[in-house]
Amino acid sequence: MADLRGGAVTIATQLGPMRLIITDRGLADLEIRPKPAKAVSPRTKSAAPNLPANLVKQLQAYADGQRVCFTIPLDLRAGTAFQQVVWRMLQTIPYGETRSYAWVARQIGKPKATRAVGAACGANPVPIVVPCHRVVGSDGSLGGFSGGLALKRRLLALEGQ
């Protein structure tokens, strides 16, 4: 995995096509496409010569309901310092569990930053891997999700919520 050379590819998963952008540091962007898109087989060398096979396997296993954690290098440089702190905290939320925006704000030492936490979740470039879908309102309401609330419900159901 050390030789990631940047590029974009779309892979097929049970959740739908996922468009991945990979840099020399790791996965930088993951977009779940609600509409069918031309997906590239991870075995097609010419389509994605530097796509790490375990990246595809981990995402497909998650979408199949088999994966509970990721060991994928991430490139989150595009985020602000605050966003990066929030995104690191999101990675501590266990598979199959949810936390509130207020909980995240308290954990990062900014208890009044609930709305800013929500904005950071919305700016998350690698949903699923950085599990912003596991963050809900204090009253249990879903809040928002960059892939839409239907997908957030589907991800939570996949994880047994």
Sorted by where each starts, the structural domains of the chain and their CATH numbers stand as 7-63 (no CATH), 81-158 (1.10.10.10)
pLDDT the model gives residue 44: 34
Among 4-8, 39-43, 154-158, which is the least confidently predicted range?
39-43
pLDDT the model gives residue 54: 83
114-135 pLDDT, tens digit per residue, is: 999 999 999 999 999 999 999 9
Which positions ≥6 away from 95 have C-beta within 8 Å? Answer: 68, 69, 131, 159
Instruction: For strands 18-22 and 27-32, give the pairing.
Output: antiparallel
Q: Between 38 and 143, where is the model more confident?
A: 143
Strands (E), the chain: 7-11, 18-22, 27-32, 99-100, 135-136
- In this predicted structure, the answer to whether residue 101 has a pLDDT above a threshold of 50 is yes
- In this predicted structure, the answer to whether residue 159 has a pLDDT above a threshold of 80 is yes
Options 132, 151, 155, 158, the catalytic residue: 132
Q: What is the mean pLDDT of the chain?
A: 85
Instruction: For strands 27-32 and 99-100, give the pairing.
Output: unpaired
Please provide the DSSP assignment of 47-58 as one string: T-TT--HHHHHH
Structure tokens, 38: 């031309």
Mean pLDDT in residue range 37-44: 44
Supply angle C-alpha 31, 34, 40, rounded to 5. Answer: 65
44-81 pLDDT, tens digit per residue, is: 333 444 556 788 889 999 999 998 889 889 999 999 99
pLDDT-above-70 percentage for the chain: 84
Catalytic-residue membership of 121: no
Helix 114-122 vs helix 81-90: crossing angle, to nearest 10: 80
